[in-house]
Amino acid sequence: VHVKGFTMRNPDIPPELRGTYAGLGHQAAIAHLTDLGVTTVELLPVHQNVPESFLVAEGLTNYWGYNTIGFFAPHNGYSAAVRAGHPGGQVAEFQAMVDALHQAGLEVILDVVFNHTAEAGPDGPALCFRGIDNLAYYRVVPGDPSTYYDTTGCGNALNAGDPIMLQLMMDSLRYWITVMHADGFRFDLAPTLARQDGAFDKVSAFLDMCSQDPVVCQAKLVAEPWDVGQMDSYDLGRFPPLWREWNGKYRDSMRDFWRSHPVGIGEFADRFTGSADLYGAADRRPTSSVNLITVHDGFTLRDLVSYDDKHNEANGENNRDGTSDNNSWNCGAEGPTDDPEINALRARQSRAMLTTLMLSFGVPMLLGGDELGRTQQGNNNAYCQDNEITWFDWASADTGLRDFTKRLIALRKAHPVFRRRRFLSGAEASQLRWYTPAGSAMTGADWADHNALAIALYLDGSDDPDRAVDGTWLLDDDFFVLVNAWWEPLDFVLPATRKQAAWRTEIDTYDPAAPAAAGAHSAGDHVTVRPRSIVVLSDARRG
């Protein structure tokens, strides 16, 4: 979430606090977060930053803030104190915001940009680092200090292998933990930090220092596991065990699955159960995977189901900026429409993807505003839009989608069976079983059918040593998750699981407002899952 965008138009926050740290720490902002049920707030960059000159010339700015110049200073543009004429007041204001979030039970993770600075390429402004020690702070071509290596797409890449740069990075991290009370960090374009001689190295100096530093190693560390311009720029699954990673494969596969592209039912299953193919072999856990459907750079969830193509004309680059590969589907019309069937389909697609996200193993990450149906009018690269394109429109919030998202989060929090912290193998593998819609166990041929778009998952809530309390293993309910990404309804046959199992509907994404059917389903019963939707059944006989 963006400090300014989240608060700028919230009518329950005093006008003088909107768009500021104090606004995010206001009870109205915190009430939305706690009512929703999230546990952690990840803030887009809050380090002091400056906009690129070409944006200023066009009357725009770097709204996201990925253009850092001060690694020890909260950005003054988000400070109500500075706005009121108190320079330097942003420090205490930021601390008060974090304290207010902590008091509400929320952790705070900062998105930090240690891969490049606002000095850009050789023709960029010389603001500090370049003039102090160009070779220490930036990676340059040997023998040619005027030519920068650029694995960021921003003109320069910081020299994470130099002792001076490493000291700055580690001092900064410790400052934001010990003085500003942050709980962790998400590292933008993190592979750049692990490049010393060009190639990604999981035992590089920076990653090694993070694991050894007694303060930093206690924080939550999250990698954006890709940068640009190198053969190994996509380093998903290669970070050390201490780290979590934004799972780009999860994002792309789940988007494709729900728009009925033939990604393969096995790909859906791998991503849903924590991406063991990426993390299991390295003895990492499902919680290494930060699962996402949308983030700030790209479509919002509403736009993901409303646009086939990007619409970035407002950025002033003739729609050339931003990716053209969005894995999106407009459901039959480009942009806003009055067609009730298309709007209903878009709502179902949104609920299906949110349900997939919230029930998958790993750490679910929700883009702020997706729970409200926020749109950026098809702009998938709104980094320079500090205006109503990016600010939350609280007056037009989709309260039905918000309430549905709250139900999903509550379901996940109430049932540890969706939060497994280990990959299941051996005898434990029976606690997770996959079935065809006909109720038969999946075979090799079933898994190999790349056109399959429907599957059933049985989750056994039996004893789990990861959830033992004082030596006593805990029980959870059993669940069936029935998934139908076809464009027609499908009947699912419930296979036999435990004796006397009585299955009741917890979630039906096709019509979440429909009253639950009387009675319960038993083994052998048929359950109709309507088009492009998920039905979640639970057996709560354990009490």
Give the angle 324-328-331 at the CA atoms, nearest 5°: 130
Q: Are 475 and 449 in contact (CB under 8 A)?
A: no
Number of Cβ within a 10 Å radius of residue 126 = 11
Please give the full DSSP string across 234-258, using - where no structure is assigned: B-TT-S-TT-EEE-HHHHHHHHHHH
- The one catalytic residue in 93, 162, 224, 252 is 224
Phi, psi for residue 516 in degrees, rounded to 5: -65, 140
Q: Are 298 and 369 in contact (CB under 8 A)?
A: no
Residue 47 forms beta bridges with which residues? 74
3-state secondary structure of 130: helix
- The one catalytic residue in 188, 252, 476, 508 is 188
To which H or E segment does residue 203 belong? Answer: none
CA 79 vs. chain centroid, Å, equals 26
Q: Are 20 and 7 in contact (CB under 8 A)?
A: yes
Q: What is the CA radius of gyration of the chain?
A: 24
425 CB contacts (<8 Å, ≥6 apart)? none
Give the pairing of strands 140-141 and 144-148: antiparallel
Q: Alpha-carbon torsion 255, 256, 257, 258, what sign?
A: positive
3-state secondary structure of 15: helix
Question: By C-alpha distance, which of 251, 247, 333, 320 is closest to 287?
Answer: 247
Catalytic status, residue 267: no
DSSP 284: -
How far apart are alpha carbons 16 and 162 in whole angstroms?
Answer: 43
Residue 219, token pair as written in the block:
């924080």
Catalytic status, residue 188: yes
Q: Are 491 and 528 in contact (CB under 8 A)?
A: yes
What are the catalytic residues? 188, 224
